[in-house]
Amino acid sequence: MNVELIMPIYFPLNPYQPSLYPSFFFLQAFIVFMLAIITAATDVLYCSLVCLTSMEFDIMGQKINQLDPENDENAERKLQDIINRYNELTDISNELEDIFSFLLLNNVFAGIFMLCVCVFFAFTSIRLSLIIKFIPALPDLIIQLFSTCFYGELLQTTSLRVADEAYNCIWYGQDLKFRKMILLTMLRTQQPQKLTGWNFMDIGLPVFYWILQTTHSYYSLLSGLYEA
């Protein structure tokens, strides 16, 4: 039969027999579909959790900036609640780091490899079937990697903004206790909350640019070897 499976995988039986081919084909289709669902679900979960945490940091910064001890006798209590909430968000960020750290490292290096392969086959292959197969995969990979790095950058930016908002609030001219609380808040929030690739790299937009540069370098190397 002049047919092909979705993926060229070795089977102990001949999958191209008329009685076996439909079963093997649908088995592979189901596996590919489930892998796509799992990958998409993991990416959506990561982006959602990091986005929600970043929003909490942003809201916290706005609350600090809106503190007005002169007209609000509960300003110190509100600031203490904000500090407690910041500690909770720090714990959440650490938990996200523990959950996604190795996965992020794997996504970065797997993304470099897959981007390099897709670019190489898309621009050097003379077979139309390969070109059609690999070109649509390029934007998917780029969007996935950009989303991963963008939300990592967002977490760093919003967590650092808390210190700026604390400095911009009406702390001057207030009593010593309130000024000390603001000072401690600024000192505590000067270090950004961030996600890393297994402590190997800080996930952010610079990592995305590095991925593109590395992919281009390996593509140039493969192209040179292929033409030679």
pLDDT tens readout for residues 69-83: 888 889 999 999 999
Q: Which residues of 153-166 are buried (b: 16+ CB within 10 A; e: fewer)?
A: bbbbebbbbbbebb
The yes-or-no verdict on residue 43 having pLDDT over 70 is yes
Between 87 and 11, the more confident residue is 87
Q: Which 8-state DSSP code applies to residue 9?
A: -
- Note the pLDDT of residue 165: 96
Task: Please state, in angstroms and as integers, the Cα–Cα distance from residue 92 to each residue in 40, 50, 86, 97, 205, following that order.
Answer: 22, 10, 10, 9, 22
Which of helix, strand or coil describes residue 196?
strand
* pLDDT range class, residue 59, cuts 50, 70, 90: very high
How much is the mean pLDDT over the chain? Answer: 92
How do the domains of the chain map onto residue ranges? Answer: 44-227
pTM of the model: 0.91
Non-local CB neighbours of 79 within 8 Å, separated by 6+ positions: 64, 67, 178, 181, 182, 185
* Cα 80 from Cα 185, distance rounded (Å): 10
* Cα 87 from Cα 109, distance rounded (Å): 32
In this structure, how many other beta carbons lie within 10 angstroms of the beta carbon of residue 198?
14
- Note the pLDDT of residue 128: 79
The type of residue at 46 is Y
The yes-or-no verdict on residue 112 having pLDDT over 80 is yes
Largest CA distance in the chain: 86
What is the separation, in whole angstroms, between the first and last Cα of the chain?
37
The yes-or-no verdict on residue 107 having pLDDT over 90 is yes
- Note the pLDDT of residue 152: 98
Mean pLDDT for 130-144 is 89
In this prediction, what percent of the chain has a pLDDT beyond 70?
A: 99
